[in-house]
Amino acid sequence: MLRIANLEEDVRKRTEEVIELVHRILLENFQRGEVVSRRALIALAEVSFRHAGASGERRYYLAAALYSWLFLFPTDPALAPDPYDPRLRLAADLYNRSVTLAFVDPDSDTVRFRDETVELPVGPLEIVLDESSLVWGDRKLIGFVPVSELEVRGLRNRYRWRGIGAPLAAILEPVSPDDRRDAYLQPSLRLPVAALLRFEVDDESIERGVVRARLELHAASDGESVEIAGHEVPLEMGSFRSNRTGRGEFP
């Protein structure tokens, strides 16, 4: 798409300007009632993701997640990607990895979630954390670690479910401080979860230039899919089994 628009050289030298330019063109097309180019959306997701890694600015990871989401779940259901389109898996991988990296704390390598407003290259993104999704039975989910960053030693079995969401491993903490049942749990025990940044994009939010997103945590034991835009979509998760545990490992 960038080659066709003669922007391939510009994106290397003026990446941020090209992202804003293409976004503005897409917005103008939308306001005129024209079809938003899916090719442009996936190009913006790729360029934003690459620039986030090169610049260290997390807002570009969130921008990449937004563009990937719009490609996967367009406001017009008639524009949903064909299941045989190879860009479908690319968009899902860009979304999953972008959500993971956008919330990683570089000092601890753990994933930290909170309510916040982030100024994206094209406008503010209001993120609201679904606090109820942090409770699993009588346990709280804490200490999230990206599954992709874990190392497993010893006898190894790795299980992976492909889908949407950032695959994480969470520590279980009692909701009640008087609950002593943790004594029966291995300290290295982790629960597979998927983090879903559910963008709430509609005509009004596009016109206002403000995008909202709800941050949800889904435990593997609660189901392997989630409803998005009226469809059941599989969640991306991962887990391990090992005979040895240590830092960054879980059985």
pLDDT in tens, 145-184: 888 766 666 556 666 788 999 999 888 887 766 655 555 5
Strands in 135-174 per DSSP E: 135-136, 139-146, 157-161, 166-174
> Does 61 fall in a domain?
yes
Angle in degrees, 0-180, between the axes of helices 58-72 and 38-55, rounded to the nearest 10 = 160
Both tokens of residue 15? Answer: 């990446």
What pLDDT does 3 receive? 44
What pLDDT does 1 receive? 45
What pLDDT does 248 receive? 41
Share of the chain above pLDDT 90, in %: 37
What pLDDT does 179 receive? 57
Distances (CA, A) of 244 to 151, 167, 179, 206, 241: 11, 21, 27, 50, 9
Q: For residue 159, with 0-12 CB atoms within 10 Å meaning exposed, 13-18 middle and 19 or more buried, which class applies?
A: exposed
> Does 2 fall in a domain?
no
Buried-exposed string 51-65: b where 16+ CB fall within 10 A, e elsewhere:
bbeeeeebbbbbbbb
> Does 251 fall in a domain?
no
Q: For residue 23, with 0-12 CB atoms within 10 Å meaning exposed, 13-18 middle and 19 or more buried, which class applies?
A: buried
3-state secondary structure at position 207: helix
Look at residues 79, 46, 250 and name the one whose alpha carbon lies nearest to residue 156. Answer: 250
Residue 73: domain span: 8-241
**Could you tell me if residue 229 is left (phi over 0), alpha (psi between -120 and 50 degrees) or otherwise beta?**
left
Give the number of other Cβ atoms within 10 Å of residue 71's Cβ.
Answer: 28
Count of domains observed in the chain: 1
> Does 149 fall in a domain?
yes
> Does 146 fall in a domain?
yes
> Does 3 fall in a domain?
no
> Does 250 fall in a domain?
no
What pLDDT does 8 receive? 52
> Does 249 fall in a domain?
no
Residues of the chain with pLDDT under 50: 1-6, 9-10, 242-251
